[in-house]
Amino acid sequence: MNPEEVEFLGEKQLISVIPTFNSSTIHLVSGDIGPFRASLPVNVPLWVAVNLKQQRKCKIQPPDWMDVERLELLKEAEKTSRNFVKMPSEHYMIEGKLLLSVAADDISRADEVRTIIKDIWDIRMSKLRSSVNTLIMGKSYGNVDNLTIMEINSMRPLIPHAMDQIHRMKMERSRFGTPSQSVSLALLNSSNVASTFK
Amino acid sequence: MERKETRYAHSDGHTDVCYTEDGTRLITCGTDGDIRIWAGFDDDDPFQTCVGEWALSVRQKGDRLYIATDKNNVQITTYPDAERDGILIRFTAHVNHMDIGKNHDFIAVISEDMEVKVINLAKQSEILSFSGLSGPPLSVSLNPKARMLAVTSGDGMLRIWNVEDSSLLKEIDCVPKTNSFMNADCLSRIHFDPVLGRCLAYPNRSTVIIVDTTSWSEKLILMSPEVDSTYSIVQFSPCGELMAGATQDGSLVVWHITSQNVVGVTKHPKSISICSIAWNPKGNGEIAFCDVQGQLGIITNCLKPTMNVGAENSKVETVINEDFTNEVDFGDLQFEEDDDEDNENAVSLEKLKKEVMGGDSESEAEKASSRAPTPRPRTPEIPLQTAFMPTSTPEHLNPRYLCWNEIGVVKSYRNDINDDSAKSIEVEFHDSSLHNSMMIQNFHDYTMGSLSSIVFTIAKSNFVAVIPLSAGVKEWNINIAEEEEEEIICIACSDNLVCLGTSNNFIRVYSVYGTQKGIFAVPGPLVCITAHRSMLLSAYHSSSPRNGDQCISMMLTKLEGFAIESKDLKSTLRPETTLLWLGFSDCDTPALQDSSGLLYLYPESCNVWLPLCDTKKKCNNPSDGFFITALFESYQSVRGIRCRGSVYPGFTPRPTLSEIPLEPPFIEMNTEKSQLEANLFTWSLIKVADVEKKIKETALKTFALACRNNLDQRALELITMLSNPQLVTLATKYATKLNRRRLAEKLMEMASNLHDDGTTDASETQNSSESVYPVNKRLNLSTMMKRTQKANSIKASPSMSDGNIQHLESSSVNDISVANESLQNISNMDISIDLNTSQSKVANPFLKSLKKKTTTNHNPLSLADKFAGYAEEENLKQSDHKVSMLNANSEKRKQPEHETDKPKDKQRRLNNFIFTKRS
């Protein structure tokens, strides 16, 4: 899946908004939303919230994990733990990105929140890269507990391909005893793989 | 009253003393040029700092001290550090006295060069001067609203000015003449009543005179037989109920003003003249004084004479102990309380005596108390609740909400106390399509706000600004002239009205665009008003509190056009609570919330207050409050803010609204029965939308519950109470199926009675035979639409197993075979219900099974054999004409409905088509 598709999935997440308009229930294929009553919080899918926010028809109530103190704790836990820590939301990156871009005024200390979410993402990605590395080296097995869909999908197109290559190389090696020129060339050609292996 | 031994404060000469605003510290200044800040009278190491050669007067307000020094100026220092912070004002001679307001920002300063100035501390450029003195001024006093200024001077006159326009209001000749402050024996210190400012007290030889500031007539003359020297200083206590007077020979007398009784007299052991006194603003009956030898003294227990001797006495004593020693023996305190007041069985001799002997014994007790070595302080009186605006937060908060209702939120910000331009009012509308949010600079210092969907109103004590929300309509104002002595204490606006409640118990009514529509008086001091459409609800005190309960009554006034129509309501508050919120629901029903969190509604049809929601129970913590903003009767919910650990919502983080359902505080609310009953109660009394079907559903559930618990009489009673023909039918059916024959029979009787009531004009003979007709008619016409949900409701009631149904079915068949007439009717009705349900395709378990069974058995009730019931009827009836008529009738009635339905559907589809095409 590409990031857009993951984002599409993430946008189904419910989020609480405070509408500034009155409307009866809206019946949609995916389910009913509303009724909207001005100033009374209501849960809607993220995509509706973003849409309404862009029309300035609502205030978004940030999810309770989107709070500097909580994220700070999470970041620490992520730093110290060897494994992946469970994220407060399956789509934390998508929610964070969308809300911070559209409704930064509704989130307290939005800039700090943005930085911390980015930090957590970076920590997790580097952890992921190193664990992929160990996996490819054949030293260990991959542990994907608590990984979010977005993170899994950042590695997914790559790993099978890389494994494939390695497998082929191994086959070559076992056939000829020493790696042939053509294989190493093929290896060099896929620069992505090369960077992963570094 | 007891006077403690005086102690050295400053060197010989005029010494001044004042309390800090919070009453925790004493500040003195004297002829040694020092000021000292004492952390209580027993502080052996007061903070001191030198401000000059000598100082004559010191006052504290906020974080500043104002000191009159020998350098002919008023020095400002910080408090509590006492670092110099500029000069307030300079004169050509020394400053004799100052008076600073507790509730306002003005300071009055008098100097030996016969100048009188009033300075606004918030804007120090604003200085008012008062001229006309022909002698050195001796003392000055501002009234609590800074509207009047009184000055005594050595030319023998007491002069009172109006501060606003500097006009001289009154001159009184009462001051002993003197040529200089330094030579004056009698300081003639005067004082305005600190609560209302409606009285001025001044010393006049060996009496103290209290004059009314409107009529200038002498209200009271206070004197004491034990003191014959000249009074030099008078001062009201912070509560305004006691008066302290200090004489030239060092005596200090405290009076209770209303009774004119002397509370206590203490004499100076050396008869040295007192040159300043100050009441502790805490109101604990402490007076600090200084004499001309620079000694500081303190007098405690200057409290109102008490009638109740007993527990309160010990309580207050303990409190005073606390003030002085900062340690309280809680165990002791509780023990004492237990002994006396809390134990209802304990008989207080004093109380009995008082009750029996009445007034005489009171004065006796009083005398005894003034003579007794241990004074008897009285319990604090429960004050009348002050006027407030519903959904506003208290004035001392900053920022604060002026109003938060179903339309929007009005917030008031005060960024900097000293800067007027930093004050602003912000209006946010919940529905942004109504109006954009507004921001107003609050130059006028508005303190009240009200919002409706047509206008926004803001007000201060004598001025109202009304801002219509529709575009192109000009703002208009209401201005009450200063001299009217009328003050706006609360406002309310609705879609049709703008109302002002004033201090002289008037309500002035304007239309939203500024027509003065009327004025009426309320029979007591206003507490709160609220408006909705053309209705105004005003709460007022009908009498003083009884045993701690506020006596608040209400008036519901309808102000349509120029007509005024009013109705008196009482209010219901739980014991010892106050009114917290007053408003209307969206269906025009008056509602109130008391400070214990209970919400009451007053549906007009009941003419009584119904407690409909205990908001405290919906909060997690006992200290949490629910701040009601709006009441939606049609949604059966109350909207508000859950406030953590307080009654009022905060500002950051932005509070979110939540909704809680209206639910009467029935007993055992966790049982299903109580829930059902509570729902029945609520729905039958208040106007909840679309509730008819729910009532029936709930009633049937309650009925089923009673049946299942073998409480036939209760079940019957419930149906009797509701007496709804459809319900009777369904209930009968249910009872039959549960094999409760007696109950079913009774219900059938009831059903027939109900029909009889319905067909009063039918003749006696035909009545029995025709009684079928109206039932069918009613069922077919009025209940067609509701059939489906009712069937659902039966399904919903967690009912019987299949075997049970079968058994019941046969029993009902039996019943029918033995049928009497009324049973016949019922079975007929059953058929028609079945018919309808099958038409509307409702999957009802037992209806279906019924259908199945009847078709196989050729039951007289069967669907296939639809006229079976009628066939039996034929035997009973004289002719079958009527039956056919009935049939034809019901057919006819059904047909047109179908016919009309179809074209409608077509039309709709057509419309849809057109719309889709167009779009």
Residues of B with CB below 8 A from A57's CB? 432
C-alpha A52: how far from chain center: 24
Alpha helices (H) in A15-109, listed in sequence order: 46-54, 68-80, 92-102
Q: Which long-range contacts (CB under 8 A, 24 or more apart) does B756-765 make?
A: B758/B725
Predicted confidence band at A178 (pLDDT cuts at 50, 70, 90)? low
How far apart are alpha carbons B701 and B796 in whole angstroms? 8
Report yes or no: B893 at the A interface, CB cutoff 8 Å. no
Residues of A with CB below 8 A from B427's CB? none
Contact B657 A20 (CB under 8 A): no
- Cα B437-B439-B442 angle, rounded to 5 deg: 150
The pLDDT score that the predictor gives to residue B627 is 92
DSSP string, B858-872: T-TT-SSSTTHHHHH
Crossing angle, helix B881-918 and helix B772-782, to 10 degrees? 10
Please state the domain extents for chain A: 3-153, 158-197
Q: b vs e for B463-484, b when ≥16 Cβ sit within 10 Å of the residue's Cβ?
A: ebbbbbbeeeeeebebebeeee
- Report the residue from B433, B639, B653 with minimal CB separation from A40: B639
Name the more confident of B904 and A66.
A66
How far apart are alpha carbons B205 and B354 in whole angstroms? 37
Fold of B390-571: Methylamine Dehydrogenase; Chain H (2.130.10)
Share of chain A above pLDDT 90, in %: 39
Whether omega before B903 lies within 30 degrees of 0, making that bond cis, reads no
How much is the average pLDDT of A130-143? 79
Integer CA distances (angstroms), B710 to B20, B579, B704, B714, B807, in order: 73, 45, 10, 9, 18
**Whether domain B2-300 has CATH 2.130.10.10:** yes
Q: Which residues, numbered 615 to 644 in chain B, qualify as contacts with chain A under a Cβ-Cβ cut-off of 8 Å?
A: 639
Name the more confident of A138 and B135.
B135
The pLDDT score that the predictor gives to residue B805 is 43
Residues of A with CB below 8 A from B657's CB? 18, 39-41
Contact A40 B433 (CB under 8 A): no
Work out the minimum CA distance from B438 to partner chain A, whole angstroms. 15
Residues of A with CB below 8 A from B659's CB? 40
Burial class (CB in 10 A: 0-12, 13-18, 19+), B290: buried
Contact A40 B659 (CB under 8 A): yes
Contact B656 A18 (CB under 8 A): yes
Same fold? B2-300, B390-571: yes
Asked if B277 and B233 count as a contact pair (C-beta separation under 8 A), the reply is yes
Please state the domain extents for chain B: 2-300, 311-371, 390-571, 585-671, 690-878, 881-919
At B285-314, the pLDDT tens digits run 888 888 888 888 888 888 776 654 444 444
Report yes or no: B267 at the A interface, CB cutoff 8 Å. no
How far apart are alpha carbons B412 and B421 in whole angstroms? 13
Name the more confident of A173 and B772.
A173
Flag residues of chain B having pLDDT under 70: 305-381, 416-421, 758-919
Report yes or no: A39 at the B interface, CB cutoff 8 Å. yes
Report yes or no: A25 at the B interface, CB cutoff 8 Å. no
pTM of the complete model: 0.53
Report yes or no: B656 at the A interface, CB cutoff 8 Å. yes
How much is the average pLDDT of A96-107? 90
Helix, strand, coil distribution of chain A in percent, nearest 5: 55, 10, 35
Report yes or no: A57 at the B interface, CB cutoff 8 Å. yes
Task: Name the class of domain A3-153.
Answer: alpha beta
- Report the residue from B433, B639, B656 with minimal CB separation from A21: B433
- Report the residue from B430, B639, B656 with minimal CB separation from A61: B656
Q: CA-based Rg of chain B, rounded to a whole angstrom?
A: 39
Residues of A with CB below 8 A from B637's CB? none
Q: Is the pLDDT of residue A49 over 50?
A: yes
Residue B92's CB is within 10 A of a number of other CB atoms, namely: 10
Crossing angle, helix B741-758 and helix B725-737, to 10 degrees? 160
Contact A41 B658 (CB under 8 A): yes
- Report the residue from A20, A21, A40 with minimal CB separation from B657: A40
Contact B430 A20 (CB under 8 A): yes
Report yes or no: A134 at the B interface, CB cutoff 8 Å. no
What are the tokens at B876?
A: 């009973």
B-interface mutation test, from A21, A39, A61, A113, most B Cβ less than 10 A away: A39
- Report the residue from A41, A56, A108 with minimal CB separation from B656: A41
